[in-house]
């Protein structure tokens, strides 16, 4: 049986970022995962760091997250590919033009540096986009990360800061007594901790149930498509006004197509399967936005499970009626803001005056 100051259950971007910040501030941290670091949503997501698809209220957090991603060599690792790109959000019809104006205006009010530009200006920024657009929204704060490298980069940084990582530790029971949490795994391992953080992604509801708390967490099965390598077909990160596309070309020539076209999946059953009509719809839209994509072939398709609360806003902060127990997750565009959200929760635990009232779990209890 081992002991720790703080046990974090779930080694995705949220748990790992919180762990790193706490360890940097001198706490003895143990990070537990039923698989290994960032192999859930945080390792299979599209890695898009765009303001065009972020919920308006979360823009201030996404901006801070974007800044952290752009400086990973200073606080995380050199072993992760991060690219800054211009972001264009395209409108093809008059209705979409109206939608783009409305959505960009709201995001701007929350601090996103987005401006509506003419078709001519959009084509100057990226000559590869469909020439039939009506207009576009431009944001220089955009880009992407190669999400499949997240686990390696975080594991290295966490080990450097003496975080104890327990992989293959599936938490099935949590007991609370005398100001300590006793955390038990499926295979009978035991860990005692003074503080507890739940960061189990799409399994947050299951982790909360271990403490007799009931909160509905929806599971969104998201599909992604990657093309074979091809010569340069685009310079920007592309999204569209109705929010159903995210598109960028990596340095190796492959193009990643996403945008929230759902597949089939269940967190409970740990199961995913593709929905072919949605793959086709997603690819059609991608080829419409960047016509040169019609020349490419699909190399691979995969899915990941994303967590969402009933109001699509995150849950971050203290768990009421427990001593020193916290939660973090269900964050829309959660990969973009994850490093910053983790830092915020760590600061709160370290006693700093951090306002997390927007994300209080009490709204669901």
Ligand X SMILES: Cc1cc2nc3c(=O)[nH]c(=O)nc-3n(C[C@H](O)[C@H](O)[C@H](O)COP(=O)(O)OP(=O)(O)OC[C@H]3O[C@@H](n4cnc5c(N)ncnc54)[C@H](O)[C@@H]3O)c2cc1C
Contact positions toward ligand X, by CB under 6 A? 9-15, 32-35, 39-42, 44-48, 169-171, 199-203, 207, 222, 224, 246, 258, 304-306, 329, 331, 333-336, 338
The residue (of 134 and 317) whose beta carbon lies closer to ligand X is 317
Structure tokens at 244: 């159903």
- Closest contact distance (angstroms) between CB of 178 and ligand X is 23
Helix (H) or strand (E) holding 133: none
Specify whether the CB–CB gap between 13 and 38 falls below 8 A: yes
- Closest contact distance (angstroms) between CB of 131 and ligand X is 27
Q: Is 295 exposed, middle or buried (0-12, 13-18, 19+ CB in 10 A)?
A: exposed
- Closest contact distance (angstroms) between CB of 95 and ligand X is 25
The residue (of 91 and 202) whose beta carbon lies closer to ligand X is 202
The residue (of 97 and 306) whose beta carbon lies closer to ligand X is 306
The residue (of 116 and 199) whose beta carbon lies closer to ligand X is 199
Strand locations in the chain (E): 2-9, 29-32, 82-91, 114-118, 135-145, 164-166, 171-177, 180-185, 190-198, 218-227, 237-240, 246-249, 255-258, 264-266, 271-273, 298-308, 315-318, 325-329
The residue (of 42 and 193) whose beta carbon lies closer to ligand X is 42
The residue (of 199 and 279) whose beta carbon lies closer to ligand X is 199
- Closest contact distance (angstroms) between CB of 91 and ligand X is 21
The residue (of 293 and 327) whose beta carbon lies closer to ligand X is 327
- Closest contact distance (angstroms) between CB of 122 and ligand X is 22
Helix (H) or strand (E) holding 298: strand 298-308
Closest C-alpha among 209, 225, 227 to residue 217: 209
Contacts of 347 (CB under 8 A, 6+ apart): 21, 354
How far apart are the C-alpha atoms of 346 and 186, rounded to whole Å?
Answer: 28
- Closest contact distance (angstroms) between CB of 232 and ligand X is 21
How remote is the C-alpha of 304 from its chain's centroid? 11
- Closest contact distance (angstroms) between CB of 173 and ligand X is 10
Structure tokens at 329: 């997750």
Specify whether the CB–CB gap between 127 and 88 falls below 8 A: no
Specify whether the CB–CB gap between 95 and 246 falls below 8 A: no
């Amino acid at each position: 049986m081992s002991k720790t100051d703080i046990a974090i259950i779930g080694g995705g971007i949220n748990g790992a970022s919180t762990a790193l910040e706490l360890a940097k501030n001198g706490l003895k941290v143990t990070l537990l995962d039923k698989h290994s670091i960032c192999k859930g949503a945080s390792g299979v997501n599209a890695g898009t760091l765009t303001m065009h698809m972020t919920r308006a209220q979360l823009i201030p957090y996404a901006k801070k997250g974007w800044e952290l991603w752009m400086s990973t060599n200073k606080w995380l690792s050199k072993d992760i590919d991060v690219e800054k790109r211009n972001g264009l959000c395209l409108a093809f019809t008059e209705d979409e033009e109206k939608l783009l104006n409305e959505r960009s205006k709201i995001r701007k009010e929350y601090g996103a540096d987005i401006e509506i530009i003419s078709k001519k200006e959009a084509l100057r920024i990226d000559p590869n986009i469909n020439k039939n657009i009506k207009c576009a929204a431009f944001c220089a704060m955009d880009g992407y990360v190669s999400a499949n490298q997240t686990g390696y980069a975080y594991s290295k940084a966490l080990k450097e800061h003496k975080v104890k990582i327990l992989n293959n530790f599936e938490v099935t029971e949590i007991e609370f007594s005398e100001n300590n949490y006793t955390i038990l795994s499926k295979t009978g391992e035991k860990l005692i901790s003074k503080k507890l953080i739940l960061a189990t992604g799409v399994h947050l509801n299951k982790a909360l149930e271990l403490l007799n708390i009931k909160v509905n967490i929806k599971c969104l099965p998201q599909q992604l498509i990657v093309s074979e390598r091809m010569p340069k077909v685009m310079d920007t990160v592309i999204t569209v006004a109705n929010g159903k596309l995210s598109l960028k070309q990596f340095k190796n020539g492959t193009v990643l197509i996403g945008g929230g076209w759902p597949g089939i999946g269940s967190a409970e059953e740990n199961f995913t399967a593709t929905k072919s009509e949605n793959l086709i719809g997603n690819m059609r839209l991608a080829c419409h936005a960047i016509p040169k994509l019609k020349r490419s072939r699909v190399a691979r398709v995969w899915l990941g499970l994303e967590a969402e609360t009933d109001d699509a806003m995150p849950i971050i902060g203290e768990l009421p009626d427990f001593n020193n127990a916290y939660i973090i997750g269900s964050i829309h565009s959660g990969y973009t803001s994850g490093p910053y959200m983790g830092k915020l929760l760590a600061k709160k635990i370290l006693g700093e005056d951090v306002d997390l009232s927007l994300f209080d779990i009490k709204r669901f209890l």
